[in-house]
Amino acid sequence: MSEFTVTAVDVHGRLDHFLSRQLPMHSRAYLQQLIEREQILVDGRAVKSGYRLRAGNRITVTLPPPQPSNTVPEHIPLDVLYEDTHLLVINKPAGMVVHPSPGNTTGTLVNALLAHCTQLSGIGGIERPGIVHRLDKDTSGAIVVAKDDVTHRGLARQFADRKVIKHYVAIVRGDIRQAEGVIDAAVGRHPVNRQRMSTHARAGREAVTEFRVLERFGLYTLVELRPRTGRTHQIRVHMASLGHPLLGDPTYGRARKELTASPLVRQLAWFRRQALHAGFLGFTHPVTGEPVECRAPWPDDLARVLGVLRSENRAGV
């Protein structure tokens, strides 16, 4: 059981918002479920998720005991960038789902981790052991996994406090005029299509992404992206909002009709996933206090795309 006391800083704030900050390893939806089940009490009594806090409120959180997982270990090869007794960093391939979900019960990173590790943290729930953060299915690159709950909590706190350094590289459509810049646009569920995210959501959350141009290829640009926040599809939505969606993005990257006739566009038609790679991940080790910095090599498909772009650029196409 965990216990918190409300100070003046948090007075009048919502209970679920307060708990999201105190327990960043759990989603707000999960915490709201615990509130509804009366496993989270304020001064010993049940309240609603929107309860407005008062100074001195004593909040007790009783987490349910872990349940056995039905996820089956699978001996799937993993590209391990770093590993010790507390955590590991994986270079996740594009096409791999991070954790099981309806329709994706096998072949996930969690399936592979259960075969690779003898122990994973249980904070993420029975279907998400060890998972501190996520990458989209078709985004490749570095992802950190916790082997124990202490490490998980420490990593989750660093993500919540924006102390984890994340560098992505992406190939986007068009020639970005600015050499660098900052995109500050809230991201939330699309008002019509709930499967998409948007910068025009009715209730978007703060989202900030820094970008820097690395190479220009006329119809495409190679950029480095540093998200300060971690919203769902943040980079993909932000770049699309600038008019420069990611190459191959099936959700946000539909090409304009006048571009589809380009020989270069047709030459890259085989590339069917968003051209996004988490190339660098840096954080402080929650147990040793030492800095951990991991660089994930480019995957073969992105390297092939980049080779085509550089070749065509030299040819003056």
Residues known to be catalytic: 136
Q: Are 242 and 183 in contact (CB under 8 A)?
A: yes
State the sign of the Cα–Cα–Cα–Cα dihedral 229, 235, 237, 239.
positive
Give the span between the Cα atoms of 247 and 262, in whole angstroms: 14
Angle at CA of residue 32, ends 2 and 185, nearest 5°: 110
Strands 276-284 and 140-146: parallel
Tokens of 112: 């592979």
Tokens of 141: 């690159």
Give the span between the Cα atoms of 239 and 205, in whole angstroms: 17
State the sign of the Cα–Cα–Cα–Cα dihedral 161, 167, 173, 175.
positive
